[in-house]
Amino acid sequence: NFFFMFNISKIFRYKLYKLCTIKFSIIEKEEISSDGTIKWLFKISENNYVESVFIPEKNRGTLCLSSQIGCFFNCSFCNTGFHGFSRNLYSSEIISQLYVVRKRLKYLYNKNVIYFFSVTNIVVMGMGEPLINFNNLSSFLLIIRDKFLYNFSKKCVTVSTSGVVPGMHDLFIYNDVSLAVSLHHVDDALRTNLMPINKKYSINDLFRFFNLYKIISIDKITIEYIMLRNINDYNCYAYELIKLLNGNIYKINLIQFNVIKNFIFYPSFIEKIYFFQKILKKSGIPVILRKIRGMDIKASCGQLIGKFVKNKK
């Protein structure tokens, strides 16, 4: 209640009362995986819900946040885009996920339900394309980076994009955080089949930005590459990827595809992933094979769908 804020003037309290509201996203459903991963279904507004995921590890806890209700980019391997799009989240609605999760984790920790309760890292990799919702994303990032608020360091905040080049420019100018870019293929035509955004921002467009970025920044860009059986996991594509990533500003996250019902894709065989990774490592590029987390509660990469009324526009 604004009228109990006695450290500000009565006039200011009244203005806040007239112009603002205080409300938080509501946890509609909570699921805890056998590996400790937690997924929440948040009620944002009437008939609109998003999902957020907390991934605990030995010395850190990563919170994966959503930036849109659904996604209209419709990447062919992602369940979020398959279910359509409703609207952008306001910055307050993105922040609300973090605020509520922190409170909930402390409660679960005190009840001995979980072994790690601190949010040390933020990744905007949940539902939606963050850079299409740039203004709200930017406000959110400024708040969590502010030393008088959440005080997250730039290395602990990562924004993931499917390749919105103008948004990447804006992110670099206005928000000093880490960048992850979903590449997923080295051939334009085949990447377009996987990610329709490639029609607008091609691989060449991405690397024009990267070449500019490496002149003015020492920070590494994370290249995300999902391993799809007999689609993009051939050894020749590993060598093509090495040619593309000519420079020391990249690191690669190899992602195992998480099986989604009625989708035509299958995960690459693990032996093939290891060999693909070995080829990349020999070139000197840092490569990480991302662990599958929360599979039993459908909290893994590409599986978040929430619940919402689809926008017909």
Catalytic residues: 51, 301
Quick check: 203 and 232 in contact, CB under 8 A? no
Alpha carbons 138 and 171: distance in angstroms, whole number? 8
- 189-195, long-range: CB < 8 A, 24+ apart: 190/231, 190/232, 193/76, 194/75, 194/76, 194/77, 194/228, 194/231, 194/232, 195/73, 195/75, 195/76, 195/162, 195/163
Q: Any idea what DSSP says for residue 246?
A: -
Tokens describing residue 97 = 């996920």
Nearest by Cα to 181 from 267, 198, 173, 193: 198
Alpha carbons 296 and 207: distance in angstroms, whole number? 37
Alpha carbons 26 and 40: distance in angstroms, whole number? 10
Q: Which amino acid belongs to residue 67?
A: S
Residue 34 phi/psi, 5° resolution? Answer: -65, -20
Nearest by Cα to 47 from 70, 21, 24, 63: 70
Find tokens 């970025």 and name the residue: 213
Angle at 213 between CA 208 and CA 217, to 5 degrees: 165
